[in-house]
Amino acid sequence: MQKIEKILISNRGEIASRIIKTCKRLQIKTVAIYSEADSNYSFVKEAEEAISLIGSESKETYLNIEKIISIARQTKCDAIHPGYGFLSENSNFAEEVEKAGLIFIGPHHSAIFAMGDKVESRKKMKSINVPVVPGFDGIVSSDTQLLEEAKKIGFPVMIKASAGGGGRGMRKVFSEKEFFTDLESARREAKNFFSNDSVFIEKYIVNPRHIEVQIFGDTKGNVIHLYDRDCSIQRRNQKVVEEAPAPNISDKTRNEIYNTAISAGKCINYTNAGTVEFVMDENENFYFLEMNTRLQVEHPVTEMITGLDLVELQIRISEGFSIYEILPDGKVPEIRGSAIELRICAEEGLIDSKPSSGNIRYLNFSENEGARFDSGVITGNNVSIYYDSMIAKLISYSESRNTTIERAMTNLKALIILGLPTNHLLLDKILSHSEFREGKVNTGFLEKYIHPSNTKNDILFYLSICAVIHSIKIHDLMGRAFSEIHFEPKILDKCYVSDSFEIKNTLKIKHENIVYSIYKENDIFYITHDNEKYHYVLPKISLLNENNILLENGEKIYFCKYGLNIYLQNNCIKETFQILTESNSSKSKNSGNIQSSMPGKIISIHVKKGDTVNEGDPLISIESMKMENIIRAEINAKVEDIFFSVNNQINTEETLMILKNI
Ligand code: ADP
Ligand code: ADP
Ligand code: MG
């Protein structure tokens, strides 16, 4: 038995913060390591010690085995917690940690090795009569032979990387003629991500459910299960929403799947936390997919329904305790209630989304009953392109599944993230769908039920709100107070702003590449674009504070003004607007609003307000993806306004300065 007193966390973001939370409660000291891109993340401040690593790429930082172990030794840690992703399933890392005389908080490296390769783990499972997805995992001498095997299995098939993970290196193939192209691309992706291009073939089970079982083993040979999770809501084979327990499964099947998971664990002498994943067809036949030998992203839903802290269990097992010594009253708790986790991702687009990057201009979560918010980010953090796009997890819990879904919807609306796009709308559509509500989920859910809607959000309403926000100039981005209209927060409740301001000139506002012209006369907003003219009467609104507008019906709209950009969030709808200045209306080159086409950081500003610049003069230097870009004047002009300072993070399409033609 070795008491663990200090842990190095070899991970970042949400999961690093999560692990620190438990360590604080257990009075265990923590050491964080962080890359340059993560230097202002909250986990860096939360840990007792934080050591910076040179670089931002994963391979120089969170994947640098030698460096991580040497930091753990220098800071006198007893143990390393790998979190999930990165090195958590790297048996070589686990072995090196042990060799350095440290405890690896996870299973023995031999178990990671045994389950790390999907082909090997399939074979192992077959040997103990666990049903695996029908497929071919033998050795062939040519791709043509592999095609023959695929034909024997029968299309559709799934080509999978043996070393795969995170939904990568996997291709569905529907017919013979696509086989070679898909094989090649699966191999290429596998080589890229896992430096190993060996693949195998499985029968593609059409629209199965993804059901997994949380297990725990200890060094005394005990293996227990902590129930199941349904992770069927997936996109590109990656989980989006997870819940525990899985809805609509018979008790008989549930018991069978628990026993199967336990025997899988026992056959490799499994210790610590692990997850056995299965696909399940309509008739509740289940097949082994893979085993993840680590803490899972979705572990909080299991914590909510058991009342256990899985990170604590991991630590205590690593210290040598038996699982029964750790569990309250020495036994596995009964399931209580139902829990749902939403993965909050920085991404653009509903289904065919791509990761987005940029600075979080405002983040707020107002906690409701049964809510748990596991976040890796706070206001001001920069979401970089270097890592996963998942920035936080929102977990909701109650006694019943229906109430949990209601809570999840309320919680999602109460999570405000301004400055960059997130998957709020996708999650909201999932939670509101009747099939989801009835628990009729499978991995084809998103494709079948979730489509971009054509109904345009109430754009006139938002444009009018933007006009109000802009015209009263609440404060500018650097906190310089504007004097024109100064609101005291106390008076704000009573101040209906829609009556009390005038737009002096016509305002031009850009939204999704459409420019709207807007002016207000009496109580009516006149909005035009493309020769169409609308008029709109804005309902009474009151300004609560610099980020918050209250509607008459009691709803709140959150906003944040940055330079000339206005970010809005109304429940799960998020929109970005850009105020165009008078000088920008001219068609000439880059007169007007100077913007960066990429998110980045301001390195230097070469001019000051009032300066006259000539064509070709440098204006601002920006560091973006490690490259320095100089934005230059394309005309002779006067610098009318500058909205940012050196070291500020900037987002795509935020106006940095305004030039005026001379
Ligand atoms: P799970 O079943 O836990 O979702 P995955 O196979 O999807 O398992 O792998 C975990 C996911 O976590 C991967 O998508 C990986 O890209 C992602 N990931 C790894 N490290 C981090 C991290 N530090 N922060 C956020 N996401 C991460
Ligand atoms: P990863 O290691 O990337 O998590 P998995 O083998 O766990 O890979 O598969 C990820 C997801 O892909 C599964 O949850 C499932 O939705 C889908 N999938 C994998 N194999 C099959 C299959 N043979 N038939 C149908 N769907 C599959
Ligand atoms: Mg998996």
Flag whether pLDDT at 497 surpasses 80. no
Cα-to-centroid distance, 570 and ligand 2 (Å) = 35
State CA 519 to chain mean position distance: 39
The CB of 202 under 6 Å from ligand 2? The reply is: yes
- The enclosing H or E element of 407 equals helix 401-413
Output the six-digit token pair for 520.
């207000």
Give the number of the ligand closest to the Cα of residue 390: 1
**Confidence at residue 385, expressed as pLDDT on a 0 to 100 scale:** 85
- Which residue from 567, 536, 571, 572 is spatially nearest to 556, judged by alpha carbons? 571
User: Of 106-110, 158-162, 200-204, 599-603, where does mean pLDDT reach its minimum?
Assistant: 599-603
pLDDT for residue 582: 61
- Give the distance (Å) from ligand 1 centre to CA of residue 238: 9
Residue 407 a catalytic site member? no
Q: Cβ distance 568 to 559 under 8 Å?
A: yes
What are residue 375's DSSP bridge partners? 392
User: Is 313 strand, coil or helix?
Assistant: helix
C-alpha closest to that of 300 among 112, 8, 22: 22
Q: How many degrees, rounded to 5, is the angle at CA 318 between CA 290 and CA 266?
A: 40
DSSP class of residue 604 equals E
Are the C-beta atoms of residues 209 and 268 closer than 8 Å to each other?
no
Q: What is the dihedral of CA 337, 340, 341, 344, to 10 degrees?
A: -140
Which CATH number is 593-661's, of 3.30.450.20, 3.40.50.300, 2.40.50.100, 3.40.190.10?
Answer: 2.40.50.100
- The number of CA neighbours under 13 Å toward the Cβ of 84 is 19
Q: Are 63 and 93 in contact (CB under 8 A)?
A: no
Contact indicator for 268, 261 with CB cutoff of 8 Å: no
The pLDDT of residue 218 is: 98
Give pLDDT, residue 485.
30
Residue type, 400: S
Q: pLDDT tens across 113-147, in order?
A: 999 899 999 999 999 999 999 999 888 889 999 99
392 in Cβ contact with 344 (< 8 Å): yes
> Cβ(297) to ligand 1 under 6 A?
yes
Distance separating the N- and C-terminal Cα atoms of the chain = 77
- pLDDT (tens digit, 9 = 90+) per residue, 314-360? 999 999 999 999 999 999 999 999 999 999 999 999 988 899 999 99
Decide if pLDDT at 278 tops 60. Answer: yes
Segment holding 15, helix H or strand E: helix 13-25
For 446, residues 6+ apart whose C-beta sits below 8 A from its C-beta are 233, 234, 235, 240, 351, 430
pLDDT level of residue 167 (50, 70, 90 thresholds): confident
Q: Per mean pLDDT, which of 376-385, 394-403, 574-583 is the most reliable?
A: 394-403
- Residues in CB range of 50: below 8 A, 6 or more apart: 31, 32, 33, 34, 44
Q: Which residue has the higher pLDDT, 261 or 536?
A: 261
Ligand 3 (ion): residues with CB under 5 Å are 277
Structure tokens at 192: 């890229």
Instruction: For residue 105, give both structure tokens.
Output: 């908080």
At 597, list the tokens.
């086409």
* Residues 291, 191, 344, 34, CA torsion sign: positive
Q: Which CATH number is correct for 6-105, 3.40.50.20, 3.10.20.30, 3.20.20.70, 3.40.47.10?
A: 3.40.50.20
> 599 preceded by cis ω (within 30°)?
no
What CATH homologous superfamily does 134-203 map to? ATP-grasp fold, A domain (3.30.1490.20)
- Report the 10 Å Cβ neighbour count for 445: 22
Higher-pLDDT residue of 650 and 408 is: 408
For 27-82, the pLDDT digits (tens) are 999 999 999 999 999 999 999 999 999 988 898 999 999 999 999 999 999 999 99
Q: How far apart are CA 524 and CA 609, in angstroms?
A: 35
> Are the C-beta atoms of 341 and 371 separated by less than 8 Å?
no
In the numeric block, the tokens 């006067």 are attached to 638
pLDDT band at 439 (very low <50, low <70, confident <90, very high): very high
CA–CA separation, 429 and 643 (whole Å): 37
CA atoms within 13 A on the CB side of 486: 5
Buried b (16+ CB within 10 A) or exposed e, 249-260: beeebbeebbeb
The pLDDT-based confidence of 628 (bands split at 50, 70, 90) is confident
Looking at 172-221, list the stretches that DSSP marks H as alpha helix, in order from N- to C-terminal side. 179-194
pLDDT at position 513: 87
Round to whole Å and give the CA distance between 396 and 370: 6
pLDDT of 498 strictly over 70: no
Ligand 1 atom 4: residue of nearest CA: 297
From the candidates 229, 294, 316, 343, give the one annotated as an active-site residue. 294
Local confidence band at 455 (pLDDT 50, 70, 90 cut-offs) = low
Q: Locate the ligand 1 atom nearest the alpha carbon of residue 165 and give its number.
A: 6
Contacts of 319 (CB under 8 A, 6+ apart): 1, 2, 3, 4, 103
> How big is the chain, counted in residues?
662
- Could you tell me if the CB of 439 is within 6 A of ligand 2? no
**Residue 504: per-residue pLDDT:** 62
* Closest C-alpha residue for ligand 1 atom 5: 166
pTM for the predicted model, two decimal places: 0.92
Q: Does domain 209-449 have CATH number 3.30.470.20?
A: yes
Closest CA to 342 of 295, 375, 367: 375
**pLDDT at position 553:** 85
The verdict on the CB of residue 229 being under 6 Å from ligand 1 is no
Q: For residue 503, what pLDDT is reported?
A: 61
Which ligand 2 atom is the nearest neighbour of the CA of 164?
2
Question: Residue 432 — pLDDT band, cuts 50, 70, 90?
Answer: very high
Mean pLDDT of 467-493: 46
DSSP state of 160: E
The H or E element spanning position 549 is strand 548-551
DSSP 8-state assignment for residue 254: H
Which is nearest to 81 in space by CA: 263, 409, 317?
Answer: 317
pLDDT over 50 at 458, yes or no:
yes
Provide the pairing of β-strand 6-9 with 29-34: parallel
Distance 166 CA to ligand 3 centre (A): 6
Residue 473: band (very low, low, confident or very high) from pLDDT cuts 50, 70, 90: low
Other CB atoms within a 10 A radius of the CB of residue 605 amount to 18
Assess whether the C-beta atom of 135 lies below 6 angstroms from ligand 2.
no
pLDDT band at 474 (very low <50, low <70, confident <90, very high): low
